[in-house]
Each structure stands twice: as C-alpha cells, then as structure tokens.
Structure 1
C-alpha cells in the first residue's frame, strides 16, 4: 500500500498572499507619534488686580515676547504666562521682570512654575489634551485629521493598493527574492517599473535602487544594464505571470534626450509598493527620486528606515518628504 503524499507546506510569501487577499484592514499612515504632547516649564504670574490684565498682557507682548509659545493663549482667568524658565537664568522672576520694564512692579501677587504644551496641536485629540494644561489656539487640518482617522482611503482605493502590493509579492515569488519594489504612476493607473533584490550580483542593487533605475530608463536614463523588455522595461515573462491581477503595465512616453524634456523627474508623482520596509539607503534614494508615497507590507526590524528603526519621512530638514503607509497584513 502506497503511503499518502505529504502536503507541501506553503512558503512565507504564499502565507502573506493569502492574508493580503482576504484582508479587510484599512491602511495606517506612518508619521511621528501624535498621541502625546511634550511639555515645557514656564513662569506663570497671578495678577493682583484683574483690571490691570489688558495692559499687563500688552506690556508682556512688547517686553517679553514668547514666539515659541504663540500657540498658547497668554491668559487663563487671573493667570498670565510670563516666559519659559530658561529666560530667567539665575535671576529671580521678580528681578527679571523689573529688568525688562519697571512697569511690571507690584502687578503680580504671586508666581509659580507650570508645565504647558511645548508644540501647537495638529489634531483635535491633541487639542483636547492640550487645553487641559493651558488654553491654546487650534486651527483644524482636515487632511491631517482624515489621514489619522483610519478612513483615509475608499474601498475602491484600498482594493487598488492591495492589488499593487499583491503584484510585489507575486514578483518576489517569481524572482525568488526577499524584496521587490513596484512603481506605479497613479495618473494613468499603470505599473511603470519593477525592481527586485539583486544583491547577490551587486551590493548596491537593492529592490528599490533597481526600481528607481528602471524608472530612469523609461525617461531615457538609467545607470545599470538590464535585460528588461525594450518597450515596457518590465520583463515580458513577469508581465505574463501577473496577467491575472488585472493591472496595467507601461509608462507615459518621454521625449528623447535631444528634445526638451517636460516630464516629471524620476519618481515625481509616483507611488511605490514594497514587500518589505526599505533600508536608509533605499529610503533616501526615494527622497532624491521624489516619490510621492511609499507603501510596504512587512516591517524591517533590523534596517527599516520608515518605521522600525527611524522615520525618515518625518525629518523636517529634508528637501522632499513622502507619505508612508503600511498595515496590509
């Protein structure tokens, strides 16, 4: 009697594909933590005579401006924010005020140090938390509120994002690699380029780096040689492998190098779908390439530059920043 054949265990990619195809999750934006507000200590003075409140605030605004705390109201009932404690140094608050202007003499009956929110609230939840410490100004940002609501994408958009992410997983399976980047032009709903992890042949050829180079090839550029199809710059066999996904492949036509180029610079306006969170090198490459949004499914706990180790997209000094989304699985 023949022994029954052992069932082949699904590999990791197949397991993730099953999760992706059945997922009903919304996607999460990856940004700085906005659940808590940092506090900073300030001197608060208690007004002796409430009738002096208006002229005291006017004098404070002239003599002791606190530009870094303009998101806060200066007055709460009979209490007035005078200044952050570092303004005073080794002096007493009374001596500091007299040094600023003699008009402050005998206005305050007492002083104390209080912690107030250091930064302006950006979300309604932050505003509600902030005003528990001190009254503040708040200007709602509808886009930011929607971004953090968990309802940013419509069901149709989510289906599209999942389909492109599925293309990344299937391409990784086809290439038999650990990571793939799929670059999409949302203006024409088309896959522009695909890059696979090719570090076994070249240490710089991470999936993201190859994807960006393949995008450059669609714009009459590119640094690395490729065996990709000369029309779509995506392997025709891979396109055939992904035919059941119902995604379009191709790019907008760009002028030759001799003609004036009016097209976007590299990944400007493009979305990128990666199976695995990119490293710092790849994330910076997307900054230089001007990618619009980065989507990834699996955290890169050792080298991840968009969530796990750092959040490069939150660095304000960068000359370009993109939005990052995850939560596919």
Structure 2
C-alpha cells in the first residue's frame, strides 16, 4: 500500500505532524474492477439507455459510487456501464440489449472498485471513470494538517521537547503529559515499570488525572499540595480543574513513546481527545527495561479506527525536525 507523506503548514516550524487514520483514508491505491460498457450512438440515446438499463442491468450496490455515463473525450463518444465483466457474457448482453438501447459497440474497461475517501483518491479514480465524491471536510483538514494552527504547532513542539529533555535527564525513561484544550499542562509523568510492570507512562498519567478529581489508585490525594509527587518523575502542574470532568475528557496526551495496546485502551476509556507521540523513539543504552512494548497499537494496528470501539480520538505522529 502506498502511504501518503503529509507536508507541514510552514517549513520554518521545527515539527512535522502526521495524522494516523483508517487505511481507507490514508491509501492512494485505487483497486479496479472490469465492467462491460456500451458505446452509445449519440447524446439522444443517453436518457433512454439509462431508463432501460435500470430495469435490465441495475447498478449493484458496490458500484453505486460510479456515474453510469461518461463522455470519452479521446474518442468523442458517450459510454454507459452495463454490468461487471464477471456477471455475464457478451452474447447475453447483446440478447438483452436488442431493441432496448441504441449503441454501436461493447467493450471492457477498468473502473474504481470502491468510493474515494479523500481528494487524492477522487482525482486518481476520476481518471478511470467519473465517480461521486462527497468530501469529508474534517478528514481533509486532518490530511493536509490545516486543523492545527501554526501557533499550536509551536506549542506542541515546545511541550514535546520538554518531555524529551525530561526523558534524557531520567535515564531515557518514557515521559508524557496531559494538556487541556488551552494548552495548560495538567500533569507530567514518567513510567514506573521498575516498581510495577503495568505502570507504563500513560497509565500513570491517567491515575494522576484521576487523583486530581478525587480518585486515583497509585497517588494519594493528600499529596497533591506538594505538587511534586514520587520524586521528579511525577508532577501535578495545577490543582485547578473542572469538578465535573470525567478523567481525560477533552484533553490531549503527549508521549515520548507510542502507547501499547493496554495504554491505548486506558486512554480510550478515559475519553482522551488527541494523542501525540514521538515518531523516533528515544533509545537507551543503559536502561534494562523499556516502558510500553513496541506493539504498534496505533500506527499499525490502528486501534483507534476500530469501528467497534465506543469512543473516537485523533492520533498524531510527531517528528522533531532538529535534534534535541
């Protein structure tokens, strides 16, 4: 599958953001299927042919994204789709079309096998055959990156570089932060897998947020006044929060490592809004254990695009252009 390379809004911004969407939105590949096409005698034959074929050869559901007629500018002819090549033979078509439509010849052409989900696919599919395209503006803005402003990109870059610095200062431990919609950093935390194998960075972050809201399992509420909990690895940056908030609803999480399946599901259940993770993971030559395993839960498995989950969130891969 050919992948899409996304261009930054401004080449001067020291960060690249690549959205991770479901495969049908990211691919530029166009799958084809062969169909029988009749070359109509003239333009006057189009309307009667459409009416006749609606009864004789109804368009199947998997081809409703195609327009039935096209004007072939190369041959200056009008062509109309009859049916898939695999469904019948030329002899059967000719018998059915006898005295039904006015055409000069039959031929086989390749057409797009599925509907286009983005503009790139639409432009490529249209070269094969005219297609119906209903553009999803939100998807388009994610693909071209315009949903994140220039100022927001600078802020994202600043937050991510701070996490990289903290990771390097703590033996390359995985680090992360949870940020509200105004880019206020609420909590910062590293992983604690040396204390418990399930205490990955994202799980610690969720627990810290929970402690802000009166819950939490690992961090005691009465320690919030100290701001720094459990040493330099865990920081509650503010005690101001929405008392009616549910965990991470409406918040973003920034991570120096792609979250594993367990952490991704934890973030999903906490109702996270967006996940930003560093594309090039920081590798340690001295640390014996890493945090989240590299199971590619979001970048390859694309857990967040699974139609059976009950919450949707955006996932962005972050690449810092300059070495930290």
Q: TM-score, normalising length from structure 1?
A: 0.73
Structure 1 spans left out of the alignment, 5+ residues: 1-21, 255-262
- Contact 1:43-1:113 within 8 A present in 2 as well: yes
Q: What is the DSSP-based 3-state SS (H/G/I as helix, E as strand, rest coil) of the residue aligned with 2:177? A: strand
State the match for 1:80 in structure 2.
80
- Contact 1:180-1:197 within 8 A present in 2 as well: yes
Q: What is the DSSP-based 3-state SS (H/G/I as helix, E as strand, rest coil) of the residue aligned with 1:249? A: coil
Shift of 1:209: 1.3
Task: Establish whether residue 201 from structure 1 lines up as the match of residue 191 from structure 2.
Answer: no
Q: What CA distance in whole angstroms lies between the structure 1 residues aligned with 2:20 and 2:93?
A: 44
Aligned with 1:252 (options 207, 222, 241)? 241
**Paired residues, what number?**
287
1:41-79 CA distance string (max 9 Å, x none): 142221454434223323444552333333221111332
State the match for 2:9 in structure 1.
none
Q: What CA distance in whole angstroms lies between the structure 2 residues aligned with 1:106 and 1:97?
A: 10
Q: What CA distance in whole angstroms lies between the structure 2 residues aligned with 1:61 and 1:200?
A: 68
Q: What is the DSSP-based 3-state SS (H/G/I as helix, E as strand, rest coil) of the residue aligned with 1:327? A: strand
Shift of 1:151: 4.6
Task: Establish whether residue 28 from structure 1 lines up as the match of residue 18 from structure 2.
Answer: yes
Shift of 1:234: 5.2
- Contact 1:185-1:251 within 8 A present in 2 as well: no
Q: What CA distance in whole angstroms lies between the structure 1 residues aligned with 2:157 and 2:110?
A: 45
Task: Establish whether residue 268 from structure 1 lines up as the match of residue 249 from structure 2.
Answer: yes
Q: TM-score, normalising length from structure 2?
A: 0.74
Task: Establish whether residue 92 from structure 1 lines up as the match of residue 89 from structure 2.
Answer: yes
Runs of 4+ in 1 over 6 A off after TM superposition: none
1:110-133 CA distance string (max 9 Å, x none): 444432223333333322211101
Segment drifting more, 35-44 vs 108-117:
108-117
Aligned with 1:149 (options 136, 144, 147)? 144
Q: What CA distance in whole angstroms lies between the structure 1 residues aligned with 2:80 and 2:226?
A: 66
Structure 2 spans left out of the alignment, 5+ residues: 1-11, 72-77, 282-292
Task: Establish whether residue 179 from structure 1 lines up as the match of residue 174 from structure 2.
Answer: yes
Q: What CA distance in whole angstroms lies between the structure 2 residues aligned with 1:323 and 1:115?
A: 35
1:218-248 CA distance string (max 9 Å, x none): 2222233459832487539649x99xxxx96
Q: What is the DSSP-based 3-state SS (H/G/I as helix, E as strand, rest coil) of the residue aligned with 2:268? A: helix
Q: 1:54–1:232: structure 2 CA closer, same or farther, 3 Å change rule?
A: farther
Q: What CA distance in whole angstroms lies between the structure 2 residues aligned with 1:195 and 1:92?
A: 66
Segment drifting more, 202-211 vs 143-152:
143-152
Task: Establish whether residue 321 from structure 1 lines up as the match of residue 316 from structure 2.
Answer: no
State the match for 1:311 in structure 2.
302
What are the equivalent positions in structure 2 for 1:154-169 lying under 5 Å apart? Answer: 154-169=149-164
Shift of 1:38: 2.7
Q: What is the DSSP-based 3-state SS (H/G/I as helix, E as strand, rest coil) of the residue aligned with 2:256? A: strand
Shift of 1:194: 2.9
Q: 1:130–1:179: structure 2 CA closer, same or farther, 3 Å change rule?
A: same
Q: What is the DSSP-based 3-state SS (H/G/I as helix, E as strand, rest coil) of the residue aligned with 2:46? A: helix
Q: 1:230–1:67: structure 2 CA closer, same or farther, 3 Å change rule?
A: same
What are the equivalent positions in structure 2 for 1:24-173 lying under 5 Å apart? Answer: 24-31=14-21, 32=23, 34-50=26-42, 51-61=44-54, 64-77=58-71, 78-85=78-85, 88=87, 91-92=88-89, 95=92, 107=101, 110-173=105-168
Q: What CA distance in whole angstroms lies between the structure 2 residues aligned with 1:141 and 1:52?
A: 35
Q: What CA distance in whole angstroms lies between the structure 2 residues aligned with 1:322 and 1:191?
A: 19
